[in-house]
């Protein structure tokens, strides 16, 4: 995978940061983005501050990649908002924000990435869903709905992009110890973990293992698939 060109959304923190550090260390050229700045510095890394729902800013980011490399090999749609909140206590502003970041952002990046990937008739797109989808946990209605939409996007885009040499797959991690869960209570985390076949936190390396499989050049026949870590 050396010399591949990759985009990772939400690259400044958590799993996105871990993946960014890992793939740059392998020699891949990584273009990352997040709303805030990143303190990660590496010769193979370029960072853009943007909102993943900002069509103009996202378009500009991909145009820079096109001008520099004329191609894109991998997109990891990692950026997302996680929340646990009872349906009766969730304001519409939160619902909108979650849907826009998790669904619209994934859609927008996938669309722009595919425009670039099709030039080379090759591409790997990986979406981030969640165990919240199959587990249907109370308090996660809009989060689970947004992540179910991400699975649906991947399954449908896999068909849209099949003739372009682009695969689209989804990884659904359980709880990973990152900043995304910093505001979630211990009781909620415990309850979530208890629903899984393997009731423990996932390590970032375990998430990466699935991504490595999806983005491998040898995985050209793997598309429209979802792998839930932790078991359902």
Partner 1 sequence: MAERSEVLKVVYAAIDEVNESLPADEQVPKDEGTILVDKSGGLDSLVLINLVGEIEDRVEDDFDASITIANEDAMSQENSPFKTVGSLVDYVCKLIEEDDND
| Site of interaction with partner 1 (CB under 8 A) | 59-60, 63, 66, 115, 118-119, 163-164
Report the alpha-carbon distance of residue 176 to residue 222 in Å, rounded: 25
Give min distance, CB of 158 to partner 1, in A.
15
Backbone angles phi, psi at 179, to 5 degrees: -60, -25
Closer CB to partner 1, 138 or 162, in the complex: 162
Query: In whole angstroms, how close is the CB of 99 to partner 1 at the nearest point?
Result: 19
- Our measurement of the distance from residue 131's CA atom to the centroid of its chain's CA atoms, rounded to an integer in Å, reads 14
Q: Judged by CB, which is closer to partner 1: 60, or 87?
A: 60
- DSSP structure class, residue 201: P
Residues forming a β-bridge with 83 = none
Q: Which is nearer to partner 1, 66 or 208 (CB)?
A: 66
What are the tokens at 60?
């500009």
* Residues forming beta bridges with residue 48, ordered by sequence position: 33
With respect to partner 1, which residue has the nearer C-beta, 75 or 142?
A: 75
Provide the minimum distance between the beta carbon of 165 and partner 1 in the complex, in angstroms, as a whole number: 12
Q: Measured from the CB atom, is 65 or 207 closer to partner 1? A: 65
Smallest gap from Cβ 65 to partner 1, in A, equals 12
Can you count the helices (H) and strands (E) in the chain? 8, 7
Measured CA to CA, the distance from residue 62 to residue 66 in angstroms comes to 6
Torsion, Cα of 191, 152, 103, 31 (10° steps): 100
CA angle 65, 67, 73 (to 5 degrees): 40
- In the block, tokens 């208890």 appear at 194
Shortest CB 218 distance to partner 1, Å: 25
Minimum CB–partner distance for residue 20 and partner 1 (Å):
27
Closest to partner 1 by CB, 115 vs 191, is 115
User: Which two three-digit tokens encode residue 99?
Assistant: 């849907």
């Amino acid at each position: 995978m050396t010399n591949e060109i990759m985009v990772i959304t939400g690259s400044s923190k958590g799993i996105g940061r871990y993946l960014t550090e890992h793939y740059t260390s392998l020699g891949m050229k990584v273009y990352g983005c997040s709303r805030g700045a990143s303190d990660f510095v590496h010769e193979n890394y370029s960072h853009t501050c943007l909102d993943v729902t900002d069509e103009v800013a996202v378009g500009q980011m991909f145009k820079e990649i096109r001008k520099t490399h004329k191609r894109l090999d991998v997109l990891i749609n990692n950026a997302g908002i996680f929340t646990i909140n009872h349906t009766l206590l969730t304001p519409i502003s939160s619902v909108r924000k979650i849907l826009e970041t998790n669904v619209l952002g994934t859609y927008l990046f996938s669309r722009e990435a595919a425009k670039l990937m099709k030039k080379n008739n090759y591409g790997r797109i990986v979406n981030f869903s969640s165990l919240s989808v199959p587990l249907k946990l109370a308090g996660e209605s809009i989060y689970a709905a947004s992540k179910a939409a991400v699975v649906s996007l991947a399954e449908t885009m896999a068909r849209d992009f099949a003739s372009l040499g682009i695969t689209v797959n989804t990884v659904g991690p359980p709880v990973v110890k990152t900043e995304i869960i910093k505001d979630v209570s211990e009781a909620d985390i415990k309850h979530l973990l208890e629903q899984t076949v393997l009731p423990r936190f996932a390590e970032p390396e375990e998430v990466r293992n699935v991504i490595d499989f999806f983005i491998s050049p040898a995985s050209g026949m793997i598309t429209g698939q979802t792998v839930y870590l932790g078991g359902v």
